[in-house]
Structure 1
Amino acid sequence: MDGPQPTSRAGGVVATLAFAGTTAAIMQTLVTPLIAELPKMLHTTSSNAAWVITVTLLVAAVCVPVTGRLGDLFGKRRMLLACSVPLIVGSVVCALSSSVVPMIVGRGMQGMGMGMLPLGIALLRDVLPQEKLSSSIALVSASMGIGGGLGLPIAAAVAQYANWRALFWGSAALAVVIAALIWFLIPDVPAGAKGQRFDVPGALGLGAGLVALLLAVSKGADWGWGSAITLSLFAAAVVLLVGWGLWELRANEPLIDLRTTARPRVLLTNAASVFVGFGMYAGMLVMPQLLQFPEATGYGLGQSILASGLWMAPGGIMMMLVSPLGGKLTDARGPKFTLICGVLIIAAGYGLAMALMGTAWGIMLTIIVINSGVGLAYGAMPALIMSSVPLSETAAANGFNTLMRSLGTSIGAAVIGVVLAQMTTTVGGHSFTSEGGFRAGLLIGCGVALVAVAITAAIPAVRRAEPDAEEAEESDAVPSAAGAKV
């Protein structure tokens, strides 16, 4: 494949891929309003019911980089269609479930479909003209945040006014619509790495290492951070991921080319992605609890789940509005500048929260500011990645970047969760996170965003010097997602 192959159906392609990303994010937040009811619904314990949420995270983390590489090998459209199948089947399985095991199976299958987002972003580079690329990448990349912001109030409304099974029948219908749109509107572009072999040992090694790491991170608070199982999982993760890295460096056709990810632009962008994911999720943990805690605490606002979701929904809408502006900013100043602006706005949002957390209007304004920064940041990171990797690795590289963001959200959930659990107060005989605990969580979110600023500032500019013969060959294979800008 010699380069991008623009299509006349650009608008339909972008709309389809953005819709797919938004729906995937909605499926992740689908069970949030049901958390308290899951043990009763599924006739199980609270610890078992927690796997309904955890399994989606684990399966998505394993499948996203794998589906990205398969997209490079066999075609991104084909893999987008393949991802829609477990979304449909998993949703139906969940809708029919009456016990915890089939529900966990169905939620795991939904996690398999989360590879749609990096596949879609990589496909944009293949089919869109240069002038539309940055804004389209920004919109599709931000669709996960948009879906997360809109998914909670939608799911809460359905759960409150209809049978909970309607949530999963609705998600199955959405997945069918997405599959149809992909079939009719997404062009079949030749695979960038066609003819290469799939790295099965690399996929198994990465999957095992990620499962061990994310299990330890997500369940450590429940099991105890010093417990034998948690420490064993962390140790296994280190051994497995180091072994995986050594294998990938020796493989002729690796799952993820670690030499490419070691390039300063790619390495630092992925590092910043971890902190951006952490920074985004800190607010998602703190704000709903502030809205829902009883007013008797002195700082809780006593809102219902549905009301709190509606207060937070404008943040998702703002992300949708900001994303195209982020694309224009990337075209004008480069993705590095856009990313710095985004993480600075996230930090400013947390600073604003310290002053405005006492009212629902203040929290809504804070979420709008934070999500505006997330919209800019999420659009800039794929542009930085795709300007630095060969066409044959775009889907795999975007899958790895998506994984880094997910790793950041998992670490953020664990760290903020520990802070909120440790800093408590007692009201009416019940224990609640204290106001100081919430403020500590907000300060951590602000600090993490500032760390992301420092990392982003260190990302090197694209070299403008005349390349030698080897670099020129590589340059021809790597058209920039944002021109030659920083």
Structure 2
Amino acid sequence: MPTSPASGSSASGHDDTGSVDAVHVDALHVDPELTDGRHTNAAIAVVAVLCFGGLVASLMQTLIIPIQPELPHLLHTSISNASWVITATLLAAAVAMPIAGRLGDMFGKQRVMLVSAALLVVGSLVCALSASLVPMVVGRAIQGLAMGFIPVGISLMREVTPPRITSMAVAAMSATLGVGGAIGLPLSAWVAQQWDWRALFWVAAGLAVIVTALVALLVPHLDDGNGGHFDVVGAIGLALGLSGLLIAISKGNDWGWGSPTTLGLLAGGLAILVIWGAFELRHADPLVDLRATARPAVLLTNIAAIAIGFGMMAQAIVVPQILEMPTATGGLGQTLLAAGLWMAPGGLMMLVFAPVSGTLINTIGAKLTLAIGATVLGLGYLSAFFLMNAPWQLALASVICSAGVGIGYAAMPTLIMGAVPISEAGAAVGLNGLMRSIGTTSASAVMALVLTSSTVTYGSVDVPSHSAFRWCFLIGAIAAFVGVAITMLVPAARRKAASAPTVTDERPVAAQA
């Protein structure tokens, strides 16, 4: 499918100024049967499988929360050590996303998703059979590695969908990041109350087996592997650097921000990442093409992802605490299951807004869609600042926040994929997922610091004060509006008629301003 050469445009479908450009369809490894309008149903089936897989993978993030207070007793360990059960998953997910994306670009995305789904099966089985801390942490880390499924699936979307539904498909799978976490809380609370705690992981293993089978049977293996050599040293450097940085951030409140351990890990992690960056710039076939990620469109989108990821996690941490605190302390006295049910509509709202986001991307472009999403997120936090006196009020604020996240999360990978070559789409989307993880991890640390800085005594326990929760909502709003400001700095896309697709006029410009 020949296209006329565009003046000043590179062969990869983006120019050298860093602004987002139209994607060259002839560079895509697209299955003609799936992009033919007569086979839209087959494409929708593939999208449904990818979304279900993303939902199950993200579900693992909140699976353990209902039994978190019981983990020290269940695993015969201390409270501090038990927290590694959650930290290990978050850390492994952050490391896995860019690495899985790169592997998908090299060896084919369907293969990598199949491996990710299999890792989820293995991790869930290890957890289900664990009776002590170490195997549980190992199993949870393996579950975290399965999060690589999501960025690889998102980057596959534009290769297996007709142009008219690509934005909708990307929006739907992006929404699974929030939906899985939101429905995971009430679902896992119900399972834990009805059966033994190990049932959580047996259910997870069963879901993972279904995902593995569906990916193997229904997701086509396209000839989308670009080959190359896997950057082992780069992967190890990234893992070590991120581990030091994220462990310091996530454990800083427990260890003390001025403790030698926290400062050592923070400084060591940053130093390793600086050395890693210098190595990647000199590597012929790097894990992450830092020159491509330095393009303004990619760089600014990733910075905005940190701010919006921060905003998403802040309400997920703060709202359940207010709902569950005793009424004598200013809380709303809800049970864990009830709190999860109040939070569930927010997660489902992300899925509801997926088609809205897709329509906005097609109509006004991904840049403005991301700005609108971040704005709605900020308005949700401002609503929560004033609506804290009843469960329904917090549920309403959570719905508004989640709508903003649902709109914004879909726009970010669209912006990223429109600014990098197709051969690097998986790694670039994975790196964007990492940036969101840094935002969510930072939110956990900041919210914990704020909530412990202003407390009231309830019996023999100190609990966060009402003003501390208000400060959390205000900080979340500020983070969201910072995301808006950064998004508006993303260079505008330029339509180039000469490089526009000639096969169909339905494929939208990936990220039009």
Residues 319, 374 of structure 1: 8 Å contact kept: yes
Give the distance between the partners of 2:172 and 2:100, measured in 1 at CA: 21
**What is aligned with 1:112?**
145
Question: 1:94-135 CA distances to partner (integer Å, 9 max, x unpaired)?
Answer: 111111111111101101111000000011121112111101
Question: 1:322-350 CA distances to partner (integer Å, 9 max, x unpaired)?
Answer: 11111011101001111111010000001
Give the distance between the partners of 1:319 and 1:33, measured in 2 at CA: 22
State the 1:192 CA deviation.
Answer: 4.2
Give the distance between the partners of 1:270 and 1:485, measured in 2 at CA: 17
What secondary structure sits across from 2:353 in the alignment?
Answer: helix
Question: 1:409-455 CA distances to partner (integer Å, 9 max, x unpaired)?
Answer: 00011011100011111123321100010000000000000100000
**What is aligned with 2:512?**
485
Give the distance between the partners of 1:89 and 1:435, measured in 2 at CA: 43
Give the distance between the partners of 1:481 and 1:270, measured in 2 at CA: 22
Alignment counterpart, residue 425 of structure 2, candidates 381, 394, 399: 394
Alignment counterpart, residue 385 of structure 1, candidates 416, 434, 442: 416
Alignment counterpart, residue 464 of structure 2, candidates 433, 450, 456: 433
Q: Which runs of 5+ in 2 are unaligned?
A: 1-25, 501-505
**What is aligned with 2:309?**
277
Give the distance between the partners of 2:193 and 2:64, measured in 1 at CA: 12
Letter of the 1:11 counterpart: I
Give the distance between the partners of 2:358 and 2:495, measured in 1 at CA: 22
Higher relative contact order (CA 8 A, sep 6+): 2
Residues 87, 175 of structure 1: 8 Å contact kept: yes
Give the distance between the partners of 1:222 and 1:363, measured in 2 at CA: 28
Give the distance between the partners of 1:15 and 1:140, measured in 2 at CA: 9
**What is aligned with 1:233?**
265
Matched, 1:288 2:320: yes
What secondary structure sits across from 2:457 in the alignment?
Answer: strand
**What is aligned with 2:375?**
344
Letter of the 2:450 counterpart: V
Alignment counterpart, residue 40 of structure 1, candidates 73, 76, 90: 73
Alignment counterpart, residue 494 of structure 2, candidates 441, 463, 474: 463
What secondary structure sits across from 1:35 in the alignment?
Answer: helix
Letter of the 1:239 counterpart: A
Aligned residues: 476
Q: Which runs of 5+ in 1 are unaligned?
A: 474-478
Residues 383, 481 of structure 1: 8 Å contact kept: no
Cα gap change, 1:135 to 1:482, in 2 (>3 Å): farther
Give the distance between the partners of 1:268 and 1:5, measured in 2 at CA: 32
Question: 1:333-391 CA distances to partner (integer Å, 9 max, x unpaired)?
Answer: 00111111101000000111112111001011011100000000010000000111101
What secondary structure sits across from 2:27 in the alignment?
Answer: coil
What secondary structure sits across from 1:303 in the alignment?
Answer: coil
Letter of the 1:261 counterpart: T
Give the distance between the partners of 2:211 and 2:63, measured in 1 at CA: 17
Give the distance between the partners of 1:312 and 1:233, measured in 2 at CA: 34
Alignment counterpart, residue 101 of structure 1, candidates 114, 131, 134: 134
Give the distance between the partners of 1:320 and 1:101, measured in 2 at CA: 36
Matched, 1:199 2:241: no
**What is aligned with 1:326?**
357
Letter of the 1:54 counterpart: T
Residues 387, 481 of structure 1: 8 Å contact kept: no
Letter of the 1:78 counterpart: R
State the 1:466 CA deviation.
Answer: 8.1
Cα gap change, 1:65 to 1:480, in 2 (>3 Å): farther
Give the distance between the partners of 1:295 and 1:241, measured in 2 at CA: 46
Cα gap change, 1:154 to 1:105, in 2 (>3 Å): same
Give the distance between the partners of 1:394 and 1:279, measured in 2 at CA: 25
Match runs of 1:311-322 below 5 Å: 311-322=342-353
**What is aligned with 2:54?**
21
State the 1:13 CA deviation.
Answer: 0.9
**What is aligned with 2:23?**
none
Give the distance between the partners of 1:266 and 1:381, measured in 2 at CA: 9
Question: 1:72-93 CA distances to partner (integer Å, 9 max, x unpaired)?
Answer: 0000000111111211011011
**What is aligned with 1:252?**
284
Residues 377, 402 of structure 2: 8 Å contact kept: yes
Percent of matched pairs sharing the same residue? 50
Give the distance between the partners of 2:511 and 2:233, measured in 1 at CA: 37
Give the distance between the partners of 2:436 and 2:466, measured in 1 at CA: 28
**What is aligned with 2:7?**
none
Give the distance between the partners of 1:178 and 1:28, measured in 2 at CA: 17
Question: 1:25-82 CA distances to partner (integer Å, 9 max, x unpaired)?
Answer: 1111100011100011111111111110000111111121111101100000001111
Alignment counterpart, residue 391 of structure 2, candidates 339, 347, 360: 360
Alignment counterpart, residue 268 of structure 1, candidates 289, 297, 300: 300
Alignment counterpart, residue 212 of structure 1, candidates 235, 239, 244: 244
State the 1:482 CA deviation.
Answer: 3.7
Give the distance between the partners of 2:113 and 2:83, measured in 1 at CA: 29
Matched, 1:309 2:340: yes
TM-score, normalised by the number of residues in structure 2 = 0.91
Alignment counterpart, residue 134 of structure 1, candidates 167, 174, 178: 167
What secondary structure sits across from 1:319 in the alignment?
Answer: helix
What secondary structure sits across from 1:431 in the alignment?
Answer: strand
**What is aligned with 1:453?**
484
Residues 335, 482 of structure 1: 8 Å contact kept: no
**What is aligned with 1:476?**
none
State the 1:485 CA deviation.
Answer: 1.9
Letter of the 1:214 counterpart: L
What secondary structure sits across from 2:69 in the alignment?
Answer: coil
State the 1:144 CA deviation.
Answer: 1.1
**What is aligned with 1:186?**
219
Alignment counterpart, residue 411 of structure 1, candidates 429, 442, 450: 442
Question: 1:119-173 CA distances to partner (integer Å, 9 max, x unpaired)?
Answer: 0001112111211110100000110101011110000111112111110000000
Give the distance between the partners of 2:93 and 2:239, measured in 1 at CA: 10
Cα gap change, 1:350 to 1:251, in 2 (>3 Å): same
Letter of the 2:480 counterpart: A
What secondary structure sits across from 2:456 in the alignment?
Answer: strand
Letter of the 1:29 counterpart: T
Alignment counterpart, residue 2 of structure 1, candidates 22, 27, 31: 27
TM-score, normalised by the number of residues in structure 1 = 0.95
Give the distance between the partners of 1:466 and 1:121, measured in 2 at CA: 27
Give the distance between the partners of 1:46 and 1:310, measured in 2 at CA: 27
Give the distance between the partners of 1:154 and 1:466, measured in 2 at CA: 50
Residues 282, 413 of structure 1: 8 Å contact kept: yes
